[in-house]
């Protein structure tokens, strides 16, 4: 029986991009005949995200698309928890709906797991020769500082802790008790994952097609402070 990759797509007010990202996921040819399970978690969008997802499901009945909806807006971390709980694939990856990350690179991330080397693979925007949109100097500095702080506590040598592209063996991500509702998910899952005995973590270079705030970017300065708090809390007190 072929193995399966579950793609978790958290979405909040992504009516302009959700069908595009689902199309890109659909078009990806996964190595070793991996099957796809797509889980879209609508975090109480106020726009037509739900309608766009429903239309896509009707247009592509051959795809396995699980649709989940929060009745109140809870945040990205909460949407991911909903998705992880519903995942049935052998491997699980996070795919934002905003087109900043390219699903064609799923194969780059899954290969170290399929080859038997890795349990978790992070896709780094700061290594390798992939295209990288030039945006926001201080965001880059902030990301690198948060990654450095995370590495100090976890003793990992990641270059991009805050990346969206994180792939896990399903049993690993479902075994982690996650609490953060917003963007604190990234440092929390990294801290808790790093504490798993004999965990094998790899990092691969990926491309990055970043958005401006006018184009819909949502993360802000308060999220950076929350991330720093989460690094300390989940490494020292959990």
d(CA 159, CA 133): 17
Residue 83's CATH number? 3.90.550.10
Q: Is residue 218 within 8 Å of 224, Cβ to Cβ?
A: no
Q: What is the pLDDT of residues 97-142, one digit of tens each?
A: 988 999 999 999 999 999 999 999 999 999 877 767 666 677 788 8
User: Residue 57: what pLDDT?
Assistant: 97
Q: For CA atoms 85, 18, 164, 191, give the dihedral sign.
A: negative
User: In which domain, by residue range, is 154 found?
Assistant: 4-236
d(CA 129, CA 205): 7
The residue length of the chain stands at: 238
| Helix (H), strand (E) at residue 121 | strand 120-124
Q: What is the pLDDT of residues 56-73, one digit of tens each?
A: 999 999 999 999 999 999
Q: Provide the number of structural domains found in the chain.
A: 1
For residue 22, pLDDT beyond 90? yes
Task: Beginning with the edge strand found earlier in the chain, give each strand of the sheet holding 201-205 in spatial order.
Answer: 65-69, 35-42, 4-11, 91-94, 166-169, 120-124, 201-205
d(CA 31, CA 212): 33
Q: What is the pLDDT of residues 174-207, one digit of tens each?
A: 999 999 998 899 999 999 999 999 999 999 999 9
Q: Is residue 192 within 8 Å of 234, Cβ to Cβ?
A: yes
């Amino acid at each position: 029986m072929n193995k399966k990759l579950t793609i978790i797509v958290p979405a909040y007010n992504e009516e302009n991009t959700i069908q595009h990202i689902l199309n890109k996921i659909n078009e990806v040819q996964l190595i070793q005949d991996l099957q796809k399970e797509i889980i879209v978690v609508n975090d109480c969008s106020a726009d037509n995200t739900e309608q766009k997802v429903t239309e896509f499901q009707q247009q592509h009945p051959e795809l396995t698309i699980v649709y989940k909806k929060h009745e109140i807006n809870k945040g990205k971390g909460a949407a991911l928890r909903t998705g992880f709980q519903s995942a049935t694939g052998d491997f699980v990856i996070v795919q934002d709906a905003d087109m900043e990350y390219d699903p064609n690179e799923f194969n780059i991330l899954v290969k170290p797991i399929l080859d038997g080397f890795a349990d978790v693979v992070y896709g780094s925007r700061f290594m390798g020769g992939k295209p990288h949109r030039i945006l926001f100097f201080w965001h880059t500095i902030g990301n690198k500082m948060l990654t450095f702080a995370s590495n100090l506590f976890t003793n990992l040598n990641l270059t991009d802790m805050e990346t969206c592209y994180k792939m896990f063996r399903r049993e690993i991500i479902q075994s982690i008790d996650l609490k953060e509702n917003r963007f604190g998910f990234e440092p929390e899952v990294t801290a808790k994952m790093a504490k798993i005995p004999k965990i094998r973590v790899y990092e691969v270079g990926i491309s990055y097609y970043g958005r401006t705030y006018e184009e819909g970017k949502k993360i802000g300065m308060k999220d950076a402070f929350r991330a720093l708090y989460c690094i300390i809390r989940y490494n020292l007190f959990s």
